[in-house]
Amino acid sequence: MTHVLVIGAYGSAGVAAATDLAEDPAVDRLTLVDDGDPGGGLCILRGCMPSKELLSAAAHRFQVRHDDRLEGDPSLAVETVIDTKDEHIENFAAHRRGAVNRLADREDVEFLTESASFVGDRTVAVGDRVFEPDYVILATGSSISLPDLPGMDSVDPMTSADVLEARELPDSGVVMGFGVVGMELVPYLREAGDVDLTVIEHDDRPLDDADDAFGDAILDIYRGAFGIDVVTNAHEQSIARTEDGDVRLTVEHRDGATEAIEAEQLFAFTGRRPALDGLDLNAAGLDPGSGWVRNTMQARDDDRIFVVGDANGREPILHVAKEEGFLAAENIGNHLAGEPLREYTNTYHRVVFSGAGVYPYARVGHSAASAAAAGLDVEVVTREASQDGVFKTKAAPEGLARLVVDADDGTVLGYQGLHYHADVMAKTMQVIIENELPVQSVPDRAYHPTTPEIIDGLLSAAGEAV
């Protein structure tokens, strides 16, 4: 009898693994564990889905404010935004809970809504029961990470989770963290509450994995269209409360000068870390250090423990979590059969709903910088959104797009876009890149004047270049 225990069954990675394992005839017993309340997974409850609800509302106000064809300056009904978000998210979460409960209805599947921790080598305590399964899958997701700065314990920062629930917003704020979460939530704060914001960016520009031109464009949009003060090349040094109850954040600039920035509220969008607390990994002989999870999703210290999704700290993105969950289930079957295990190598694929989702950033495959770092001989073509009249007619003319192709045979290696509707083009570019299509074989025409015409312009230019 083969017994698999999944810790974190509600999350995207956990439910993906559990769904496939439940259909595997080699698995005789499946135990699902999740102490989530009400349950539904991070993405649904506190991540990508509720945040997009808020961004949708922010996008409507932003577009009204920036379209000369419309009159007035509407305000967001924040209470209604949050109420609508809560209603939708509960429906989504109920659907996820229903999927897990349907699995639990099977004769060979048990679902436990309690916390789990290791008490020995591949030995797990769940409530007052102890299990010794043949395989364990850890899919516990991630939790908010706050920096250990002097004075942090003297303030009560608003995190992404707090913003998703906030029915009232402050008049001013200083923001730590200008990664994906910061770039998405900062415009919402401006549109929802006209919050006067100062954002701290450690480098010359945001979007670390993008070519410089895209980070520079983000700065122009945030500073110009949204009126946000982005302080670059600065690092947080300490935090303190002022006499009137505001927050004072001291930063050090690249030249060594220090500056004290005061605001009513501190926002901390400083990333997430694997949610491993309470699991007592030491009891299982697991050391969650660098490289602790192999590309097969097996833990380095125990090849019968698989770690998937945000929990492994590799690439905390929803579609990656799901693919890793499916792979873990597949590789457990391979391990049982004595077959080689498959490794996970995904094409770089990321979307940031920057600019309130009006100006999203998408990258699939190589950037110009990553291609150069890999030693590839490429042609790089770039097109400004303002070159295509369709963006002007939609009152969203800012941004640019870029294509990276092999210099010899024209194979499309990468795409980047920062412009209106760039997010919806990511799937098209994924198909082209993962199928290694040469630029000459991709039709360079649109069937109607639409925003994908920017891709047509890139294809045409790249075809001429090779």
Concatenated DSSP letters of 254-315: TTS-EEEEEESEEEE---EEE--TTS-GGGGT---STT-B-TTSEETTEEEEEE-GGGGSS-
65 three-class SS: helix
319's tokens: 């579609």
Confidence at residue 448, expressed as pLDDT on a 0 to 100 scale: 79
Confidence at residue 444, expressed as pLDDT on a 0 to 100 scale: 76
Contacts of 407 (CB under 8 A, 6+ apart): 377, 378, 379, 466
Q: What is the mean predicted confidence (pLDDT) over 152-159? A: 94
Confidence at residue 44, expressed as pLDDT on a 0 to 100 scale: 87
How far apart, in whole angstroms, are the C-alpha atoms of residue 320 and residue 339? 24
Residue 381: count of CB within 10 angstroms of its CB: 21
Pairing of strands 172-176, 196-200: parallel
461 three-class SS: helix
Task: Return phi, psi of residue 174, to 5°.
Answer: -115, 135
| Interval 173-196: pLDDT, tens | 999 999 999 999 999 999 999 999
Contacts of 463 (CB under 8 A, 6+ apart): 410, 439, 440, 444
How far apart, in whole angstroms, are the C-alpha atoms of residue 180 and residue 207? 8
Q: Would the pLDDT of 2 be above 80?
A: yes
Per DSSP, the chain holds a count of helices (H) and strands (E) of 12, 23
Higher pLDDT, 436 or 46: 436
Inter-residue contact 48 to 40 (CB < 8 Å): no
CATH of 152-270, one of 1.10.287.3510, 3.20.20.70, 3.50.50.60, 1.10.287.610: 3.50.50.60
Q: Would the pLDDT of 310 be above 90?
A: yes
Q: In the predicted model, what is the mean pLDDT of the chain?
A: 95
| Interval 397-414: pLDDT, tens | 999 999 999 999 999 999
Helix or strand holding residue 247 (H, E): strand 247-253
Percent composition of the chain: helix, strand, coil (DSSP 3-state, to 5): 35, 25, 40
3-144+273-337 and 152-270, same CATH topology: yes
| Interval 83-126: pLDDT, tens | 999 999 999 999 999 999 999 999 999 999 999 999 999 999 99
| Interval 198-212: pLDDT, tens | 999 999 999 999 999
Question: Would you call the peptide bond into 449 cis, given omega within 30 degrees of 0 as the criterion?
Answer: no
Residue boundaries of the structural domains of the chain: 3-144+273-337, 152-270, 360-465
Cross-strand bridge partners of residue 305: 136
Confidence of residue 38 (pLDDT cuts 50, 70, 90): confident
Q: Calculate the CA 81 to chain-centre distance.
A: 22
131's tokens: 């299990």
Helix or strand holding residue 81 (H, E): helix 78-104
Q: What is the mean predicted confidence (pLDDT) over 243-264? A: 96
CATH (residue range 360-465):
3.30.390.30
Q: What is the mean predicted confidence (pLDDT) over 314-322? A: 87
Cross-strand bridge partners of residue 416: 363, 402
**Model pTM greater than 0.85?**
yes
363 three-class SS: strand
If you compute the radius of gyration of the chain from its CA atoms, what whole number of angstroms results?
24
Q: Would the pLDDT of 345 be above 90?
A: no
Q: Would the pLDDT of 129 be above 90?
A: yes
Question: What is the spatial order of strands in the sheet that 302-307 belongs to?
Answer: 109-112, 29-33, 3-7, 135-138, 302-307, 298-299
Class of 3-144+273-337 in CATH:
alpha beta
How far apart, in whole angstroms, are the C-alpha atoms of residue 175 and residue 356? 16
Confidence of residue 317 (pLDDT cuts 50, 70, 90): confident
